[in-house]
Amino acid sequence: MAQAQIDVLSVGDVVTDAFIKLLDDEAKVEKTKDGPRLSMAFATKVPFDHTEVLEGVGNAANASVAFARLGLKSALAANVGSDQYGRDIIAALEKNDVDTRFVHINPGHKSNYHYVLWYKEERTILIKHEEYDYHWPRFRVIDIPKWVYFSSISEHAIEYHDQILAWLEAHPNVKLAFQPGTFQIEAGTKRLTKIYERSEILAVNREEATTISGGDHHDVNDLFDKLHKLGPKTILISDGHAGAYASDGDQRWKMPIYPDPKPPFERTGAGDAFTSTFVAALAKGADVQSALLWAPINSMSVVQQVGAQAGLLSEKQIEKHLRDAPNWYHPERLR
């Protein structure tokens, strides 16, 4: 039987996250001029509640699982080391119905392993990206995806962007969704000009939108104007509890969050769930307004469980939440 065409190929680094649940009375958050800081006792033993280890996570990996959960043919292009962590990552992805043919095993290298300090419902992540020899895979014609979802990747992989761009330019029918990570934002729009221009969808939070565009943080229309000048056709801006905003270049909307059934348990992956669900809806033929209805629901569900993937929903589950939604839950036209 012929293999189905890949709907979405997610691209980015994949990691193992070790969650360390801190006790509420063994840490605190302090306000400083540089923002909030997590504070604990120094040079002593600090008790903690428990740990949980989650394999096969990270922005692109989380998105790949979301796409699979929503019924799309999903694959991941990423790098792992030749260690047990790498084997566990691949196994976890395959368990979630993600095609791992494009996950490259790097002999003699370690896999990415991060530590998540989980304090109340928030998390502080200690990160270290291993240095891999990034190479864009070769695809058979039948393997060429309909969409590429490009997200966070190591600072050591800047030239990898050029390989991806060259391939995208040779395959103009493939749509690109770009959710830039920290190092990609730090690289600047000049270095990644062609990536922004090629993007069907650019997905960022409000702070990232301000940094990337140089626009007015308090004026979402100014942010949209400046981001559209970079070239993306559709722009998605998430704004925490305030909801999210979207623009297709002609029309703009504000979308509220979906009401939480109970206080969030742990917020890792809320943004990944939101963005990937928005992209998944468009990949399945929805318009921007319909995609805005889907995205907050998956985000709401994810924060009710530990990690970025346990709470991801199927299309049937999202539709049920939509039927149960309050009557104020809908996109509001900005213009």
Domains within the chain, CATH numbers bracketed: 8-14+59-112+131-333 (3.40.1190.20)
Q: 3-class DSSP state for residue 104?
A: strand
CA atoms within 13 A on the CB side of 305: 13
Question: Do residues 277 and 295 lie in contact, with contact meaning Cβ atoms separated by under 8 Å?
Answer: yes
Which residue matches tokens 């428990």?
Answer: 50
Q: Give residue-wise pLDDT tens across range 190-218.
A: 999 999 999 999 999 999 999 999 999 99
Q: Which amino acid type is present at position 100? A: T
Query: H/E/C letters for each residue in 15-75?
Result: EEEEEEEECHHHEEEEEECCEEEEEECCCCCCCEEEEEEEEEECHHHHHHHHHHHCCCCEE
Q: What are the residues facing 17 on neighbouring strands?
A: 54, 114
Q: Where are the alpha helices (DSSP H) in the chain?
A: 59-69, 84-95, 158-170, 182-187, 193-198, 206-213, 220-229, 270-283, 288-302, 315-323
Residues found in the chain: 335
The pLDDT of residue 76 is above 60: yes
Q: Give residue-wise pLDDT tens across range 83-94.
A: 999 999 999 999
Angstrom distance (rounded) from CA 236 to CA 258:
17
CA atoms within 13 A on the CB side of 266: 21
Per-residue b or e along 321-333, where b marks 16 or more CB atoms closer than 10 Å to that residue's CB: beeeeeeebebee
Which residue matches tokens 């969050």?
Answer: 257
pTM as predicted: 0.92
Q: Give residue-wise pLDDT tens across range 4-19.
A: 789 999 999 999 999 9
The pLDDT of residue 317 is above 90: yes
The pLDDT of residue 291 is above 80: yes
Which residue matches tokens 């299309």?
Answer: 315
Angstrom distance (rounded) from CA 204 to CA 201:
10
Instruction: Name, in order, each residue with C-beta under 8 angstroms of 307's C-beta and a sequence gap of 6 or more.
Output: 17, 19, 52, 54, 57, 266, 268, 269
- Count other C-beta atoms under 10 Å from residue 320's C-beta: 13
Rounded mean pLDDT, 169-189: 95
pLDDT, the chain, mean: 94
- Count other C-beta atoms under 10 Å from residue 123's C-beta: 21
Q: How confident is the model at residue 3 (pLDDT cuts 50, 70, 90)?
A: low
Q: 3-class DSSP state for residue 188?
A: coil
